[in-house]
Structure 1
């Protein structure tokens, strides 16, 4: 990481730490929307609000995008926060890099709508997309943090039901282990400005009903049978408490003979491509993902 990267990353860290951590769910949601959308989308992006099977979504298109290719994106936020708005800059620039239209999904969030509401919405959107006539081989599914876990839950369900699956997956800082057994939760706790074990424990309690098995593969895909899943790109920062969630997932996918690519970005923090407008490492990560997606959506 060069000096410019360090300077830019320090500025993002300062922005994230500029206000006290919010407490209530509405306050947390407002704060993530604020820090996620602090820099607006590019002027050449065309947005279109829509619904698929009753789920609010948003199309985005950049100049030259192939309308037959779609990047479906599930935002992060621990299943409780995050929104189409908070991730709009990331999603629209990812679509540009991939040369595809994007479909950002506003799935229901806990604690008002605990598991399996988010997965039900993901399945509804997938079914709705195919009913519109899109070729699943020309569709990529992606997500960061909890959105990465939701992506993996979706494709598990599709595989088990012998349904058509997307052409590839892209996971940013995926949350894959709701049992919170990763060593990096402690090892990286002093350098991660966003995610702590205590915070994750609150999210698990909000997302899952009392007594639900936290190792259930549909909520903790690290423990799933991963065979037969699409080619996958995993990107994670080295300064993340969720580092082990990504590295262990990559190892498990490799053991299951999945074509998996793991990128560990030195010193990067949780879901750093969110701040691509002012973080060159975020733009480089999106460019790498775009190349991966273009190579597989043919």
Structure 2
């Protein structure tokens, strides 16, 4: 799919060599990892936002998992998340839509968030019942999911039925203790890699702005959340603090910490349709919420 965007957002700047290298790694590795053989995809548009329709056998058409891919806000693409979205949607028994949002530094905050919100509103406009829509995302995509929920609540708009986030990046100030304490255990992420990506997305905004870093947001009124993270992740504290803030705000939340797992461990489950790991558990959580 050829993807072009307009200039609605604040003008960004050209990506660094490190960002270009990360995008290449997504294209050459993460984006081409095998998924379950029965997953089917099709290109789609949600009010002009490119997305990929993801289906597995037996899912219902009346529900949608709106999936937001990871990539530290500067990399990744919708097709790279097909395996994650499909694995969770399978358990939820609904189809998924993996969103192709704009990336920093060319398109910093709020452009990626605006694209996620536009895609969600398009689903509502198409007639998908709000109580049959769930949000989901991994890493930076998890952060965007939570930012979208906070934005919708603040605007008084209808909220989806539930959300699931895998290893969400919820604190772009990188103040969580696990950034340091898990540095030697996580081979995927590091403070040195994350800090410039955060600056690219922030484009001068405060890293503790609750619209961006939901580790500092009031989460009152959000729908039920499932939060998954590995115990060997530098983002462990981002997930744990998020769950604690949700609980303090009387939000139903299920936090699952997978021992000795590092960032992105769920990618190992994508090709196995019978897996009963993190993706299956997340899907079951969504199914319970959607069927209430």
Q: TM-score w.r.t. structure 1 length? A: 0.89
Of the candidates 241, 251, 255, which is equivalent to residue 248 of structure 2?
255
TM-fit CA distance, 1:216: 0.5
Correspondence for 2:76: 82
Give CA-to-partner distance per residue, 1:5-43, whole Å, 9 cap, x none.
xxxxxxxxxxxxxxxxx9532221120233324432333
Whether the 8 Å CA contact 2:36–2:270 is kept in 1: the answer is no
- Residue 17 of structure 1 aligns with which residue? none
Which stretch shows the higher mean deviation, 272-281 or 226-235?
272-281
Give 1:180 deviation, angstroms.
0.8
Aligned with 2:116: secondary structure? helix
Alignment of 1:106-255 (within 5 A): 106-210=100-204, 212-255=205-248
Q: Distance in 1 between matches of 2:138 and 2:183?
A: 19
Relative distance call for 1:189 and 1:38 in structure 2 (3 A) is same
In 2, distance between residues paired with 1:278 and 1:101?
17
Determine the structure 2 residue equivalent to 1:47: 41
Query: Structure 2 CA distance, aligned partners of 1:113 and 1:281?
Result: 38
Structure 1 residue 190: Cα displacement = 0.2
Structure 1 residues 28-107: aligned runs within 5 Å: 28-107=22-101
Where does structure 2 lack aligned partners over 5 or more consecutive residues? 1-15
CA distance in 2, matches of 1:229, 1:177: 18
Task: Tell me how far apart the structure 2 counterparts of residues 40 and 283 of structure 1 sit (CA, whole Å).
Answer: 17
CA distance in 2 between counterparts of 1:164 and 1:282 reads 33
Change (3 A) 1:264 1:171: same
How far apart are the structure 1 equivalents of 2:240 and 2:229? 8
Secondary structure at the counterpart of residue 157 of structure 2: coil
* Gap regions ≥5 residues in structure 1: 1-21
State how far apart, in whole Å, the 2-side matches of 1:280 and 1:121 are.
30
Cα–Cα, structure 1 residues 64 and 282, in superposed 2: closer, same or farther, change >3 Å?
closer
8 Å contact from structure 2 (residues 87, 270) kept in 1: no
2:272 and 2:90 map into 1 onto residues whose CA distance is 17
Contact 2:109–2:202 under 8 Å retained in 1: yes
Take 2:284 and 2:46, find their aligned partners in 1: how far apart are those partners?
Answer: 28
Structure 2 SS opposite 1:87 = helix
Q: Aligned-pair distance for 1:283?
A: 4.8
The separation in 1 between residues aligned to 2:82 and 2:161, in whole angstroms, is 23
Q: Which of 261, 264, 279 is equivalent to 1:286?
A: 279
| Distance apart, 1:274 and its partner CA | 1.9
